[in-house]
Structure 1
């Protein structure tokens, strides 16, 4: 009597030591899931919850493009902020050399292009070849609002504008329970005042850096004079001399340009007035 026939092993049980490996070659091709199960020595059912994580870890090539993109996005922490130069046609005072080709910039007017963000100068024909590596100078950034976002964050060496962090921090500390949060519009006058304060604080930081470069005797003399002028403005209802009017009077005296060119001096009058006005209004925080 013939001995009873041994049952064929399941495809997922793997080869037995007492049987020839050739006998256990499946009659149909393994699925990716079965190949992985045999490799790991696991016996997985059709509804196993272990399949997805093992699929991702052991067979990354089987993951979907969406999973790959999501994984790369989560692991990518270093972000490079690339920025091109903000070139404007410029007339230079005195000799200038192109920072790209190192050749002299010939002509009497509009000799080349000038980056208003970092100060780099270049020939018109060289500007298209200059690398996109502009490093904005904070002293050249005049405002926070209406400023290019990449320019702003690179100038302050940050990942995002400081105003975003400050506003979100204030809202989460004091405003999360406020009725109509983000629905009720703020007062236009208050909004403009806040924007002006932020824009002015970009300018004050640059002015303070400039004041620190003055010799000690110049700093003390300027501080004492500005404190006096600030006290003058306290009586502007009687003397009609506010910070703007004092800026007009003292601007040419305190802010003499290095060049004695008459035309250049006249063009600088408005800037002289504004900087002296700023110094008077904020002398208590600048010194």
Structure 2
């Protein structure tokens, strides 16, 4: 798409008579001027294109001859060594600074040839000039809700799942309230509330996309014009929309398993929605296996498994998903399974304790009053996305059970905090020094989560 023409000429060119708003965008694209390259005897070959050498704007204008869609490339007189695309549109010559980095571009889009660049530019200029008023209004009456997209997604979900999901219970602490020093009293105080169903909302993962053949926006139902990068596609569910429409689409993405290429390094909410589960299957399967045969293993989670075996488990999950075999027959060393679980949590693009609430947990860890600290941690938990909350709740419950076998495995809450602190919490800025300075606080947060699991979740 053209950005801005140099000199007097602007993106939309001159004001043409607008077409009636009902005119299909596809028809407008068909009516757009066709590119006509102007050649001359003095044409010079440089890089990947032919150009007219050092000529003025007036000379370029004369060579173009007033034909709509005519274009040439000239060396700029104002900045020798740079190149300008001169293009006739709407009765005047538009001049654009032309760049090349292996592909030709004047704006965001990159093209294999100047001819394709000009073709796409003429389509964009023509459509946006002829239907500017229509384009401005085309998102005001979306057909998104009426096309059955949201109903289709709802039908994909297991009706029983929503009944199983429950949102963390929120408690409002009053200044006069104090959490009882007894575990039972604290549990009662923190869990005094009513259950609510939670919804695993997920925003669409839109990326610029080039559509082959005609495509229409699934939000506003209008044609997506241009040769390349006509709009965006959600890489998780496949929804196709205009860039401007993408800002208005609801956060109701239901990832399609056929589009999820891997399990490890996949966004947590994306994975659980794709598999229609409360938690990632990696968590459930690894914890089940660990509790089946590893709770009394000395140094559980602290002792590392062989890297190549852990990598095998990762590849198996990415390839086979929930059909992955992590039994003792496949991996006798339980440290391979604990290593795979830690790797999965560490490789999440957004940590279990998300970047958005990281600072709240760090501030809570710095508090000296035990009751205030627990209240602050509890508030932080309630701000986690539902999938992250459920994953953390299930993991911490498991780690609590691990500590019950401390006599055999030598792993108490503090030791597990050292192991899982940096795994579950990472500073947003990824600063190494910041990470090192916060390790003690990260350890303390996980330790407190384990020690007070019965009242915090």
Q: TM-score range by the shorter chain?
A: 0.3 to 0.5
TM-score, L = length of structure 2: 0.30
Structure with greater helix share of residues = 1
Taking structure 1 as the reference length, what is the TM-score of the superposition? 0.46
Structure with the larger strand share: 2
